[in-house]
Amino acid sequence: YDLRNEDLKDLQELGQGNGGSVKKVEHVPTKTIMAKKIVLIDAKPSVRKQILRELHIMHDCHSPYIISFYGAFLSDPNICICMEYMNKGSLDGIYKKIGAIDIEVVGHVALAVLEGLTYLYDVHRIIHRDIKPSNILCNSQGQIKICDFGVSGELINSIADTFVGTSTYMSPERIQGAQYTVKSDVWSLGISLIELALGRFPFSESDPDDSDLSDFEGTLSPGTIGLPPKTEKDKSAKKDRRKSKGVSLQGGGMMMSILELLQHIVNEPAPRLTPEGRFPEEAEDFVDSCLFKDPDVRKTPKDLLKHPWVDQARASTFDLETWASTF
Ligand code: ATP
Ligand code: MG
């Protein structure tokens, strides 16, 4: 495809994120339906061209578990990235619509994400860096694919400059300033799988062990995150967050709760698939192995592809196409 903005007809808004917005479009000359991601980049022309060059690697990414790439172009002041359109949207939208996802389907999600991550790393030495339900997409054929991986270092830098928000899938070692590795993606996968299976973000309310989040003191290493002293206002912020179920972290004036959450991830035991006995033991064990807090103990995506729960998903005859036709 030789993509030009004039050839793309807007059909529908698909969503907005931190980095930009995504639209369903038609490439009129070829009648191809695509998803067009528009990223506002406040950077010099040389940097923008560098980003385009880096995005080019995506042309060589071919896997059934990775969103296909049609091309990218500059459209002042934006960068537009055109990719395969997934007509059932992302898994966060799906569980918010239909409720907690069947654990059998969650097993297929684990398999697909691990295959995608292993492909990206083994073939291209790419680390995803942003595994979360909104970056795992589904279509009506029942295919599950990952998108928004960190191919372009310059793009990551440019977005990071303007980044405000929830880093809530971030591993403990990342919060403490360590390098990204494939194992950081594994942590994010573990958190995402719990979220899908429970139908809510795992660090949000009704965690029986988490008696009072605001009791945590600033034990992060100096210089990572400055933690302001606690005030009465912080306590009411905490209450607001509990009332409104985790997702409210994105609301305005919630910075204190984000810091609390980051502290919680670093200092407290990792979340688990609970209550015990509700899910298959293999699923519990898989999630536990994604969420070892020490990255040296945590496995790589490739290792985890050998986990019994993933073997089960691979061997299962569960029909994802039929499942996807129910919503
Ligand atoms: P963040 O910016 O924090 O990564 P996000 O992933 O939700 O959050 P975007 O990547 O901008 O933000 O995506 C916005 C929404 O667009 C997603 O939640 C998803 O539902 C939808 N979307 C993204 N890519 C596609 C695609 N290829 N096909 C269909 N829907 C898509
Ligand atoms: Mg995204």
User: What is the ipTM metric for this complex?
Assistant: 0.98
pLDDT computed for residue 217 by the predictor: 33
pLDDT computed for residue 248 by the predictor: 40
The half-sphere exposure of 15 on its side-chain side, counting CA atoms within 13 A, is 16
pLDDT computed for residue 19 by the predictor: 76
Active site residue 130: yes
Residues 107, 310: contact at Cβ < 8 Å?
yes
Query: To test ligand 1's pocket by mutation, which of 67, 90, 146 has the most ligand atoms within 8 angstroms of CB?
Result: 90
Burial 288-297 (b: 16+ CB within 10 A, else e): ebbbbbebee
Neighbours of 71 (CB within 10 A): 19
Per-residue pLDDT tens over the stretch 263-288: 999 999 999 999 999 999 999 999 99
Residue nearest atom 10 in ligand 1 by C-alpha distance: 17
Length in residues, the chain: 327
How far, in Å, from the CA of 106 to the mean position of ligand 1?
Answer: 19
Helical pair 103-124 and 182-198, crossing angle rounded to 10 deg: 160
Catalytic residue among 7, 102, 130, 311: 130
Q: In the structure encoding, which two tokens stand for residue 150, read together? A: 């960190």
Residue 187 has pLDDT above 80, yes or no: yes
**Does any ligand 1 atom lie closer than 6 A to the CB of residue 17?**
yes
Residue 216 has pLDDT above 50, yes or no: no
Point out the annotated binding site.
37
Query: To test ligand 1's pocket by mutation, which of 68, 131, 134, 146 has the most ligand atoms within 8 angstroms of CB?
Result: 134
Helix (H) or strand (E) holding 15: strand 8-16
pLDDT band of residue 253 (cuts 50, 70, 90) is: very low
pTM as predicted: 0.87
pLDDT band of residue 210 (cuts 50, 70, 90) is: very low
Ligand 1 atom closest to the CA of 67, numbered from 1: 27
CA 175 to chain centre: 16
Say whether the peptide bond before residue 77 is cis (omega within 30 degrees of 0).
Answer: yes
Of residues 37 and 168, more confidently modeled: 37
Of residues 25 and 20, more confidently modeled: 25
**Does any ligand 1 atom lie closer than 6 A to the CB of residue 14?**
yes
Residue nearest atom 12 in ligand 1 by C-alpha distance: 17
In this predicted structure, which of 99-103, 156-160, 281-285 has the lowest mean pLDDT? Answer: 156-160
> d(Cα 285, Cα 110) in Å, to the nearest integer?
13
Q: Where are the beta strands (DSSP E) in 129-227?
A: 136-138, 144-146
pLDDT computed for residue 220 by the predictor: 34
- Backbone φ and ψ for 217, nearest 5 degrees, come out as -95, 165
On average, the pLDDT of the chain sits at: 85
> d(Cα 144, Cα 97) in Å, to the nearest integer?
17
pLDDT band of residue 184 (cuts 50, 70, 90) is: very high
pLDDT band of residue 161 (cuts 50, 70, 90) is: low
**Does any ligand 1 atom lie closer than 6 A to the CB of residue 135?**
yes
> d(Cα 25, Cα 85) in Å, to the nearest integer?
9
**Does any ligand 1 atom lie closer than 6 A to the CB of residue 149?**
no
Per-residue pLDDT tens over the stretch 287-327: 999 999 999 999 999 999 999 999 999 999 999 999 999 99
Residue nearest atom 1 in ligand 1 by C-alpha distance: 17
Point out the annotated binding site for ATP.
37
Averaged pLDDT for residues 216-243: 39
Ligand 1 atom closest to the CA of 135, numbered from 1: 6
Residues 18, 159: contact at Cβ < 8 Å?
yes
How far, in Å, from the CA of 218 to the mean position of ligand 1?
Answer: 33
